[in-house]
Structure 1
Amino acid sequence: MSEKPGTQGIRPVVTPSRVVIGLCLVTPFVAMLWVGSYAKVDPKAFGIPFFYWYQMLWVLISTGLTAIAYVLVRREQRALRASREGGAAK
Protein backbone atom coordinates (compact mmCIF):
# COMPACT_ATOMS: atom_id res chain seq x y z
CA MET A 1 0.00 0.00 0.00
CA SER A 2 2.37 2.71 1.19
CA GLU A 3 5.52 0.71 0.42
CA LYS A 4 8.27 2.29 -1.59
CA PRO A 5 8.88 0.77 -5.03
CA GLY A 6 11.48 -1.98 -4.87
CA THR A 7 11.07 -2.67 -1.14
CA GLN A 8 8.61 -5.54 -1.44
CA GLY A 9 9.71 -8.62 0.42
CA ILE A 10 12.22 -6.80 2.62
CA ARG A 11 11.69 -7.78 6.25
CA PRO A 12 12.96 -5.85 9.24
CA VAL A 13 16.14 -7.23 10.74
CA VAL A 14 16.26 -8.08 14.44
CA THR A 15 19.69 -7.16 15.76
CA PRO A 16 21.01 -7.40 19.32
CA SER A 17 20.97 -3.62 19.45
CA ARG A 18 17.27 -3.53 18.60
CA VAL A 19 16.52 -6.15 21.25
CA VAL A 20 18.26 -4.00 23.87
CA ILE A 21 16.36 -0.94 22.64
CA GLY A 22 13.07 -2.81 22.98
CA LEU A 23 13.92 -4.01 26.47
CA CYS A 24 14.89 -0.49 27.54
CA LEU A 25 11.53 0.83 26.36
CA VAL A 26 9.34 -2.02 27.66
CA THR A 27 10.89 -2.42 31.13
CA PRO A 28 9.32 0.73 32.69
CA PHE A 29 5.87 -0.28 31.45
CA VAL A 30 6.17 -3.74 32.96
CA ALA A 31 7.47 -2.32 36.25
CA MET A 32 4.59 0.15 36.53
CA LEU A 33 1.85 -2.21 35.38
CA TRP A 34 2.87 -4.86 37.93
CA VAL A 35 1.17 -2.97 40.76
CA GLY A 36 1.25 -5.92 43.18
CA SER A 37 5.03 -5.58 43.42
CA TYR A 38 4.89 -2.08 44.91
CA ALA A 39 1.41 -1.74 46.44
CA LYS A 40 2.67 -1.43 50.03
CA VAL A 41 3.58 1.23 52.55
CA ASP A 42 6.87 -0.09 53.93
CA PRO A 43 9.79 0.54 53.58
CA LYS A 44 9.50 4.29 53.88
CA ALA A 45 12.18 6.63 52.59
CA PHE A 46 12.34 10.04 54.30
CA GLY A 47 8.78 9.45 55.52
CA ILE A 48 7.48 8.77 51.99
CA PRO A 49 5.66 5.43 51.61
CA PHE A 50 7.19 2.86 49.27
CA PHE A 51 4.24 3.12 46.86
CA TYR A 52 5.16 6.74 46.04
CA TRP A 53 8.94 6.74 46.11
CA TYR A 54 9.10 3.58 44.00
CA GLN A 55 7.13 5.33 41.24
CA MET A 56 9.26 8.47 41.52
CA LEU A 57 12.39 6.32 41.24
CA TRP A 58 11.03 4.78 38.05
CA VAL A 59 10.69 8.24 36.52
CA LEU A 60 14.47 8.60 36.81
CA ILE A 61 15.15 5.03 35.69
CA SER A 62 12.83 5.48 32.69
CA THR A 63 14.69 8.63 31.70
CA GLY A 64 17.99 6.76 31.75
CA LEU A 65 16.63 3.79 29.81
CA THR A 66 15.07 6.07 27.19
CA ALA A 67 18.37 7.91 26.80
CA ILE A 68 20.19 4.59 26.31
CA ALA A 69 17.63 3.52 23.69
CA TYR A 70 18.02 6.86 21.90
CA VAL A 71 21.81 6.55 21.77
CA LEU A 72 21.58 3.00 20.44
CA VAL A 73 19.07 4.00 17.74
CA ARG A 74 21.26 6.91 16.65
CA ARG A 75 24.35 4.64 16.54
CA GLU A 76 22.48 2.08 14.44
CA GLN A 77 21.23 4.77 12.05
CA ARG A 78 24.75 6.16 11.60
CA ALA A 79 26.15 2.68 10.92
CA LEU A 80 23.38 1.95 8.41
CA ARG A 81 23.93 5.28 6.66
CA ALA A 82 27.70 4.68 6.53
CA SER A 83 27.23 1.18 5.09
CA ARG A 84 24.83 2.49 2.44
CA GLU A 85 27.22 5.29 1.43
CA GLY A 86 30.17 2.86 1.40
CA GLY A 87 28.22 0.36 -0.69
CA ALA A 88 27.16 3.00 -3.18
CA ALA A 89 30.74 4.24 -3.59
CA LYS A 90 32.06 0.83 -4.71
Structure 2
Amino acid sequence: MSEAAQEKQPVVTPVRVVIALCLIAPFVAMLWVSSYARRDPALIGIPFFYWYQMLWVVLSTVLTMVAYRLWHREQRARASRDGGAER
Protein backbone atom coordinates (compact mmCIF):
# COMPACT_ATOMS: atom_id res chain seq x y z
CA MET A 1 0.00 0.00 0.00
CA SER A 2 1.35 3.42 -0.88
CA GLU A 3 2.30 5.95 1.75
CA ALA A 4 -0.31 8.46 0.54
CA ALA A 5 -3.13 5.93 0.96
CA GLN A 6 -2.04 5.13 4.52
CA GLU A 7 -2.07 8.79 5.57
CA LYS A 8 -5.51 9.56 4.10
CA GLN A 9 -7.76 11.45 6.51
CA PRO A 10 -10.90 9.72 7.84
CA VAL A 11 -14.19 10.73 6.26
CA VAL A 12 -16.12 10.92 9.55
CA THR A 13 -14.43 13.26 12.01
CA PRO A 14 -15.71 14.81 15.24
CA VAL A 15 -15.96 18.18 13.49
CA ARG A 16 -18.13 16.70 10.75
CA VAL A 17 -20.39 15.11 13.39
CA VAL A 18 -20.86 18.55 15.00
CA ILE A 19 -21.58 20.04 11.57
CA ALA A 20 -24.22 17.37 10.92
CA LEU A 21 -25.84 17.99 14.30
CA CYS A 22 -25.95 21.74 13.63
CA LEU A 23 -27.70 21.14 10.32
CA ILE A 24 -30.09 18.42 11.53
CA ALA A 25 -31.25 20.09 14.79
CA PRO A 26 -33.62 22.62 13.13
CA PHE A 27 -35.30 19.88 11.09
CA VAL A 28 -35.87 17.71 14.15
CA ALA A 29 -37.16 20.67 16.17
CA MET A 30 -39.63 21.74 13.49
CA LEU A 31 -40.81 18.26 12.50
CA TRP A 32 -41.60 17.34 16.13
CA VAL A 33 -44.79 19.42 16.09
CA SER A 34 -46.35 17.91 19.20
CA SER A 35 -43.56 19.46 21.29
CA TYR A 36 -44.66 23.02 20.46
CA ALA A 37 -48.32 22.76 19.39
CA ARG A 38 -49.75 24.76 22.30
CA ARG A 39 -50.60 28.33 23.27
CA ASP A 40 -48.78 28.68 26.60
CA PRO A 41 -46.38 30.15 27.54
CA ALA A 42 -47.20 33.28 25.60
CA LEU A 43 -44.46 35.86 25.02
CA ILE A 44 -45.74 39.47 24.89
CA GLY A 45 -49.11 38.16 23.79
CA ILE A 46 -47.75 35.86 21.06
CA PRO A 47 -48.73 32.18 21.51
CA PHE A 48 -45.89 29.70 22.05
CA PHE A 49 -46.61 27.97 18.72
CA TYR A 50 -45.64 31.10 16.78
CA TRP A 51 -42.72 32.50 18.78
CA TYR A 52 -41.10 29.07 19.07
CA GLN A 53 -41.03 28.77 15.27
CA MET A 54 -39.68 32.29 14.87
CA LEU A 55 -36.99 31.54 17.45
CA TRP A 56 -35.92 28.59 15.32
CA VAL A 57 -35.53 30.86 12.30
CA VAL A 58 -32.83 32.74 14.21
CA LEU A 59 -31.33 29.57 15.73
CA SER A 60 -31.20 27.89 12.31
CA THR A 61 -29.29 30.85 10.92
CA VAL A 62 -26.78 30.72 13.77
CA LEU A 63 -26.36 26.95 13.52
CA THR A 64 -25.87 27.14 9.75
CA MET A 65 -23.21 29.82 10.20
CA VAL A 66 -21.43 27.67 12.79
CA ALA A 67 -21.54 24.66 10.46
CA TYR A 68 -20.23 26.76 7.56
CA ARG A 69 -17.30 28.13 9.57
CA LEU A 70 -16.41 24.70 10.97
CA TRP A 71 -16.50 23.22 7.47
CA HIS A 72 -14.19 25.85 6.03
CA ARG A 73 -11.82 25.63 9.00
CA GLU A 74 -11.59 21.87 8.54
CA GLN A 75 -11.04 22.22 4.77
CA ARG A 76 -8.23 24.73 5.31
CA ALA A 77 -6.62 22.42 7.89
CA ARG A 78 -6.85 19.46 5.51
CA ALA A 79 -5.42 21.48 2.64
CA SER A 80 -2.47 22.61 4.74
CA ARG A 81 -1.80 19.02 5.87
CA ASP A 82 -2.04 17.74 2.31
CA GLY A 83 0.21 20.47 0.99
CA GLY A 84 -2.63 22.26 -0.80
CA ALA A 85 -2.97 19.49 -3.39
CA GLU A 86 -6.60 18.69 -2.60
CA ARG A 87 -9.43 21.16 -2.16
1:84 is matched with which residue? 82
Deviation of 1:86 after TM superposition, in Å, equals 7.1
Unaligned runs of 5+ in 1: 1-9
Amino acid at match of 1:84: D
Aligned length: 78
2:40 is matched with which residue? 42
Structure 1 residues 50, 20: closer, same or farther in 2, change over 3 A?
same
1:22 is matched with which residue? 20
Task: Work out the CA distance in 2 between the residues paired with 1:50 and 1:77.
Answer: 40
2:5 is matched with which residue? none
Runs of 4+ deviating beyond 6 Å: none
Unaligned runs of 5+ in 2: 1-7
Amino acid at match of 1:57: L
Structure-1-length-normalised TM-score: 0.81
Q: Pairwise CA RMSD of aligned residues? A: 2.0
Deviation of 1:49 after TM superposition, in Å, equals 0.3
